[in-house]
Chain A
Amino acid sequence: MAGAVSRRVRQAWTIARIELRRVFFAKRGLWVHVLALLPALVFVGHAVDVKSDRARLGRGGLTDSALLSTAQPGETLESVKERLGKPAAERASAGTRRVRQRTGNSGTTTHVIEPAVEARFVRLTVTRPTYSGDRVARIYEFEVYGADGRQNLALGRPATGSRPCAPDQGPEKAVNGSLAGGKTDRWCAEGWSAFLQVDLGAARPVKRFVVRHASAGGEDEDLDTRDFNIQVSADGKRFATVATSSGAALVQERTEYRLLTYFDGRRVARFQFVDNTLDSRNVDTLVNFTEDRAVFAGIFQYFYLRLAVFFGCLGMFMYLFSGEMTNRTLHYWFLAPARREVLLAGKYAAGLLASSVIFGGGALLAFAAMVWPQDAVEVEAYWSSGGLSDAFWYAAAAALGCLGYGSVFLALGVWLRKPILPAAVLLVWEGVNGILPHALQKLSVLYYLQSICPVPAPMDDDVPTLIRLLAAPAAPASRPGAILGLLVLTAVVLWFAGRAVRRMEISYGAEG
């Protein structure tokens, strides 16, 4: 009896050895390796980035760490540089923007005519209404003064002009002597080349014009009239231009930005200067070990266990039976002098070994890559306070994931040929696990894996409740309990698979 058992174990091991090479090195299985190494690649990339930053900043010279936090906003560039010395990195840039030159009369222009002219009709023609590109001309007041310069000859005189924007904003509003009444206290006309004409009643000597534009009435400066001219006429037919205003020009306004970076070997201080004055500062460590560990925990639980291990096991274990059925090679195994259960055990052992090495190794590599660029002192402290145990349990969680998912996909491969639909169903099942009744939760692999992970996956407070439930199903509190549960689940699944494989028949389609 004992001899038979040990012979079957040896036989299963022989089967496993034959299968191992295939599950490990199949070209078709290359993507499994890629999945397993993806997190490691991400963290190696991060590490290389950090290391090259450190080297680059170190070359620029180190600064005494006590000085890093002394610079205060408002300080000038010269004083900061004098105290902290040459920065590790310095970057300057300048920004320009087009602004209107300040004229100082806030929307009011005065036009003196020398010598004075005789005029009964005066006309204001707007050729470019605004600085902003808006097409509406806005004139709050158009004043005409004679030789004495006191009396506004246009005040209350009959005024005509281009069609107003609204009935309450007609030409008369430009000669009513007031500009405090808001938008209804102005003349407004749409379209370029709008004109406003005032009849002074009789020909009089005119010496000065005053035009009050949009900003004089409280509107934005950019809406002030840009280009216009003033004409006079004795008879209302023939006009002569007496004043032209092409408004104020737009100029480039230049702002200088300068970013100084100081480095003390651990922390990086970034000072942002605007026009040589310290505007903002930021002092932080070059790498943040705590944050990186949280990121690792997130990637491990949300990507690695849920997707990489899941689909990796799907690829490796489904093939063991259904793939060989598709390839028409399964009968070679069935014609071997071995119990079907021994065959199942051998194939499962091969898949489990390969997947555990690939995914456990992938987890360890990623973990090592995450630790690699961290500050040596912090790493030292981490190792002496449970760091090695964290690493071990990450690898163990990945391997136990292979154990559980492997048994499920092996069993599915015995029953079914096409993996897509059952895999999708299973993925959803594992996904919605957190909102199922407690008894059903125990029928999912993820349920057990959650509590084997050494660090809980990060979860922001503002995540909606439903997603929170989906992402973090309740899990058994103790690690031994979780491992035991997973082993029991796996054993049950394998027992069903054993029954099924004993009844399995070769059917490749057309039989002779």
Chain B
Amino acid sequence: MTPGERVGGAGGAKPPGVILDEVSKFYGDVLGVNRVTLNIPPGITSLVGPNGSGKTTLMNLMTGLIHPDHGSILMRGISPRSPEALMRITGYATQYDTAPRWATGFTFITTGLLLFGYERAEAEERAWKALERLSLTEAATRKVAAYSKGMRQRVRLAQAIAHDPELLVLDEPLNGLDPLVRAETIALFRALANEGRHVIISSHVLQEVDLISDQVVLIANGMVVAEGTIRTVREEIHEHPSQYLVRCGNASDLASRLFSEDHISEIKLHDDRMGLLVMTRDREQFARALGRIALDGHRIDGVVPADENVDALYEYLIGGE
């Protein structure tokens, strides 16, 4: 493989998506993400959920910084356990607001590119281009540690795109950007997505991303609450106010566990006997109860908020914690 060559490249067959199959991750006995199954096509996909819902965990799993306890992940056909192949086509801008003390914006990105095997001259040229795309050329020779928060956010973005990746994973990339830069950045995401790349971004504010996303994945308490285009997600939310559909292994067992919770008002066995329709007065408590039950070893395949109205979900996502 020569530098710059793409794995699962854009030419020819349609590139495979980002596939998560029943992925779970626990931190000790704290639930990180639970049985997440996703198939993300190219384009801009937003992971939306309140702080602590598992967005960063999911992104770290996708990029191999942490490993799943159960389930498997394939990123355009490559396992995150093979960083040598995966990171060549992947750029990940983390939320960790750190940079090596010695690094200026320019040396920071150049050094990263050297690890891709680029000659120094090419690495410097690419670093300069990436800085240009994020309007950071003026600050290029200053220490990253001396940047403002927004500039550090952008230099991490520049680093993530510098090697021209097929697959971008960006944790809260719009956080801390002023409106003008934000518009430029969104335009950049759009341009990258139009080239057939994956651009996976996270946000805890739905309004921030609903207009720019091709797909939205709503996450709460480590579980996928809804996914699809923003329109289908909204419609789905409109139709069934105040009700959840819980997919699970042993429905009657789960029903008896849930009934002891006092915020549950009604439980109906789903027609196919593989799930429950649950009415709850308190979404938060319900989600927490499900988390506890999942930790106890019950198989919970999925939770679909069959009834939330948009306002309630907005409040949930925006007002979160």
* Chain A interfacial positions (CB closer than 8 Å to B): 7, 10-11, 14-15, 18, 21-22, 327-329, 331-332, 334-340, 342, 503, 505-508, 511-512
Contact = CB atoms under 8 A, between A and B. Distances in A.
Interface centre among A10, A331, A340 (most CB of B within 10 A): A331
Interface string B55-80: 11100100111110000000000000
B94 A331 contact: yes
B259 to A, nearest CB: 33
B15 interface: no
B87 interface: yes
A512 B64 contact: no
A512 B87 contact: no
Given A11-B117, A336-B83, A505-B66, A329 B98 contact: yes
Nearest to A339: B84
B166 to A, nearest CB: 12
B102 A10 contact: no
Nearest to B87: A337
Contact of B83 (A18, A340, A506): A340
A328 B145 CA distance: 13
Nearest to B84: A339
B274 interface: no
A335 B87 contact: yes
B164 interface: no
Given A340-B83, A505-B67, A512-B55, A18 B96 contact: no
Nearest to B55: A512
B111 interface: yes
A503 B83 CA distance: 12
Contacts of B90: 335
B117 A7 contact: yes
14 contacts: A21-B102, A22-B100, A329-B98, A331-B65, A332-B100, A335-B87, A336-B87, A336-B116, A337-B88, A339-B83, A511-B27, A512-B51, A512-B95, A512-B171
Contact of A506 (B27, B66, B116): B66
Nearest to B86: A337
A10 B114 CA distance: 11
Contacts of B100: 22, 329, 332
Nearest to B88: A337
B321 to A, nearest CB: 11
Contacts of B85: 337
3 closest Cβ pairs, A-B complex: A337-B87, A512-B56, A337-B88
- Residue with the greatest number of chain A CB neighbours at <10 A, chosen from B64, B67, B84, B86: B84
Given A335-B92, A340-B83, A511 B115 contact: no
A18 B111 contact: yes
A14 B66 CA distance: 25
B99 interface: yes
Interface of B: 1, 27, 32, 51-52, 55-57, 60, 63-67, 83-88, 90, 92, 94-96, 98-100, 102, 111-112, 114-117, 171-172
B65 A338 contact: no
Given A329-B100, A335-B63, A512-B95, A15 B115 contact: yes
B172 A22 contact: no
Given A339-B83, A512-B51, A327 B98 contact: yes
A21 B100 CA distance: 13
A167 to B, nearest CB: 89
Given A10-B117, A340-B83, 17 more contacts: A7-B117, A22-B100, A331-B94, A332-B100, A334-B64, A335-B94, A336-B87, A337-B84, A337-B86, A337-B115, A338-B87, A503-B67, A505-B66, A511-B57, A512-B51, A512-B52, A512-B55
B66 A11 contact: no
B94 A22 contact: no
A142 B2 CA distance: 121
Nearest to B160: A335
B115 A336 contact: yes
Contact of A507 (B66, B98, B171, B172): B66
B96 A331 contact: yes
Given A337-B83, A338-B83, A512-B52, A18 B65 contact: no
Contacts of B116: 336-337
A511 B98 CA distance: 14
B88 to A, nearest CB: 4
Contacts of A505: 65-67
A331 B102 CA distance: 16
A108 B92 CA distance: 109
Contacts of B56: 511-512
Contacts of B57: 511
A332 B112 contact: yes
A331 B172 CA distance: 17
Contact of A338 (B32, B95, B115): B115
Contact of B115 (A11, A328, A340, A503): A11
B145 to A, nearest CB: 11
A329 B159 CA distance: 14
A7 B116 CA distance: 10
A506 B65 contact: yes
Contact of A328 (B52, B96, B112): B96
Contacts of A506: 60, 65-66
Contacts of A18: 111, 114-115
Contacts of B112: 332, 336
Contacts of A511: 27, 32, 56-57, 60
Contact of B172 (A335, A340, A512): A512
